[in-house]
Amino acid sequence: MKKSKKPVPTTPAPEAKVEAAIPWTTQIWEYGKIIALSIVLALLIRSFIIQAFHIPSGSMIPTFLEGDRVLVNKFSYGLRNPFTNKVWIKVGEPMRWDVVVFKYPGNPKTDFVKRVVGLPGEKVEIIASQIYINDKPIADPHAFYRQTELPNHYRNFGPTVVPANSYFMMGDNRDQSNDSRMWGCVSSSLLRGKAWRIYWSWNPEKDLSFTQRLRFERLGRKVE
């Protein structure tokens, strides 16, 4: 006599779940928050940490060439109010030979980049291209002079005493630089930051090919 088989219990197949479509208004809101956060972070970085600047002239040859783009560390000398440039938290002070971006004293809406030569309280004098600090000659390793038939009047200057909280600035291209020899010292309140690295370099000569205009060997170069 055959035994009857007990029915094997079967587990019902799980029902397929259907997720409701996210409303387009919610998607726009989420994307909007991401974009807004990205903009805020970019503004914070630009205002307080790193900012890019374009070099429009040859006053800093050979350190900078016309068409270089440089990143500037805005935190080098302190945390500043992005609107008034007033120092909130002082971090450090410029040292001799630092390459600094600052607001041009004659027009604060214009940014200049030069090298620090004279520090607060120092006596600066230039005689036949030789820089004297407090009546003592100093080595000038960054100076660049073009060959000229006649001596340039820029090669003699002073003496002058750098005011407190100010700096005497000069371009490395000594004969072709509009700097403290013409318009005086730069107040620390006008400083924007210390030049850090060249992130892009583009030759302004339009007749050259792309590979000739892109100065690949300068990309990422540390500013010294």
Q: What is the DSSP letter of 19?
A: P
Query: Which one of the listed residues 74, 103, 114, 194 is annotated catalytic?
Result: 114
- Token look-up 């214009």 returns 110
Query: Quick one: which of 110, 114, 107, 93 has its CA closest to 165?
Result: 93
Secondary structure of residue 218 in the 3-state scheme: helix
Query: Which one of the listed residues 59, 76, 166, 177 is annotated catalytic?
Result: 59
Which spans in 75-219 are helix H? Answer: 180-183, 210-213
**Burial status of residue 144 (CB atoms within 10 A of its CB: 0-12, 13-18, 19 or more):** middle
- Per the document, the length of the chain is 224
Examine the residue annotation and report whether 59 is marked as an active-site residue of this protein. yes
- Token look-up 């007749």 returns 207
- Could you list the active site residues? 59, 114
